[in-house]
Structure 1
C-alpha cells in the first residue's frame, strides 16, 4: 500500500512535466516564454520546470537566432541524450522506420522492400531494424510503435486485406527486448499526425483519408482518433460505395477500396489486375499528361474518390478533410471530376459551406509521424517519466 501511494505521488509530480513535453512536440524550437504563456505558467515555474527537465536529459535549451536588438533568448528542444522512440511503417511492398526524440522530429530514416510477403519474414526483417536501433541508443530507446495497413485488435493484426494477413502476432518485433510495442493502423496514425502537427492543426474535428492499396482513414476530435470497439474504426475502404457484384479480399462485396486505387485504374484501362496496385497507380499518374486513356481512367477514379468523401462528410461533419498517400495526386489528376462528385455527394446542408479538402502536410511520411507521436505519448506519460527519472544519469 505504501509503495502504491509513493508511486501515485511520483506520477502526480510528473503531470505538469508531461504537459510541457506534449507542448514541445507541437512547438519544437519555441521559447520558454511561449511555453509559459501557452500553459499559463509563471516565469518562475517555467524556469524551474525546464531546469529540472534539463537535469534529467529530457529538455535542452539553445540560443535563439539573433533578431536585431533586445535581450538574447533561448529555444527549447529535445535533449541530445534524452529518450527516443522508433517508428516502423509496414507497407504493402516495403517497410520504413525512423527514430524520433521528444520534439517529434524524425531522423535516421531508412527502409527496404519486402523480400517476401510472409508475415514471419517481414517481422523478422523489421526486428533487425529494432535491434540495430537498440544497439545504437541503448536504454534511451523507450518504445517502438508500428504502423500496419490493417485492423489492429488487442495488440494483434486482426486482418489486412492488402497484405493478405490474418490474426498476426506483432509481438516478435520487440519480444525479449524489454521495450513496449504500440501497434496502430497506418491511415489512423497518419490522421493523428495531420491533426496534431499537419494540415488539420486547429480543426476540432478532422477527417483524414489515405489511398495506398485501397483507402483507409481516421476521424479525429481534438487530435484524438476514434479507434472503435475493436480497433476497426476508419476502415472506410470497406464501405459499400462500389459495385456490389465485385468481391473484396476483406470478405465483403462492393467495397470502396476497389474503386479508388491501382486495381480500379487497371480495370478501367482494360488490363489485368496489377501485382502492386500502388506502383501501377503511380505509373498511370506519370503517363496521364500524354495518354488520353489514362486521363479518362483517372477521371473515373477521382469521381469515385470524391463521391465517397462526400458521403463520409455527411456521416462525420468534419471541419477539414485531409488527403494522404495517392489520394492527393488522384484528385489533382482530375480536379473537376473530383469536385463535381464531392459536391453531388453532399447533403444540401453541407453544400453552402462544404469542408475544405486539402493535401496532407506529411505526405508519404504521415504514418511514420503518427507512429512516432503514438510512441511519444507513451514515453511522456507520468508513469514513464517517473521511470526515466529513476534510471542512473
Structure 2
C-alpha cells in the first residue's frame, strides 16, 4: 500500500472546481464525476434539522446505492430553507444531469456554508455550465469554508493483480463533533464492490474515524461522507469473503483516518492536533467514549492551548462519562511523559512537559485499568481565534 497527500484520480473519474460568484474570488463550485454508474454509500448528520441536499442524498443513495456525479458548493448550506430549498436541489440535479447527459437519479448534490439562505440559482446554473471533465483539484477548495487548506489523501494497492486507487478529499474546521459534523467527505475508488458491501464498510469505518473527531462539540445540518466505487480497476468484486478484502479495508480505513485527522488538526483557530489513546477499558465502546470526552473537553482543550499540564482537567473529563473506570488505578500521560499513576500525581518536570505540549501534535494516553479494550479520538486545542472566527462567521 502506497500513500500520498495529493489527489490521485482513480480510473474513470473526473473533477473540476471554479468560482461561480458565490464568493469574491475563491472556488465555490465543483463536481466529482464517474464515467460509469458507481456503487455508492453514505453517512449523514444526526442533527434533526437535516439540510435539503443532505435529505435528498440520503434518500437517493439509500434507495439504489448507485451514483455517477456529485455537484458540490460552499458559501450556502441550503439548510432550513423549506420547500424552496428542496426544489432548488432538484433543479441543480436537473442542470447537472443535462450538462453530463446522465439520468437525474444518478446525480447528487452536496452543500456547505451559511444556514438559512436560499441557493443563488442563477450563479449556480451559469457555473455548472462552465464545469468540465478534468483532473482539476480545484474541487477540493470549492467545498472549503473556514478551512485553511484542503484535506486530501490517496492510497494505491493491488487487488487480484490489478492496480487500485482510493482517493479522498474533505472539508471541515468548525462545528465538528462525533456523530457527524460540519464536514463533507468524498471517497472514490476504481475498485469493484457492491453498494451494500460498500455501505457496510463505510458505516463501520466512519464510526472509527470521522465520528471520533471533535473540535467544538457542535454538529451541523449538512454533514455527509460519501463513497463511490466504479469498478474500473476490474478486480473481482470485493466482499468480506474475498481473500484481499482485508487489504482493501485497511487502505480504505487509512484514507478516512487521514482525512479525519486533517479536519481535527485544522479546527478553527487551532494550533495543534490532539490525539487521545485509551487503553485498559472494559469495552471498545467505553474506550471510544472516554477518548471523545477527553479530546472534546473545553477545559482540556484550553489547557492544551496554554501548554498547561493540568491533568486534573483530563481526570474530570474521564469521570464525566459512564464508562467503567478503576477509580484508584487510572493513569494519564502526555506525549509519553507520565503525569498520573493509580489516580494520583507522579513526580514530573513541568518545564519538560510544557515544552513537549508546544509541539504541533500532542498525544494524551489514558489507562483505565479495568480491561483490555482500546479506543482513539482526535481533536485540537481551543484558542482565542476560535471565538474571533465564529463571532463574525457570516461576514
Report the TM-score, using the length of structure 1 for normalisation: 0.25
Rg bigger for which structure? 1
Higher strand share: 2
Higher helix share: 1
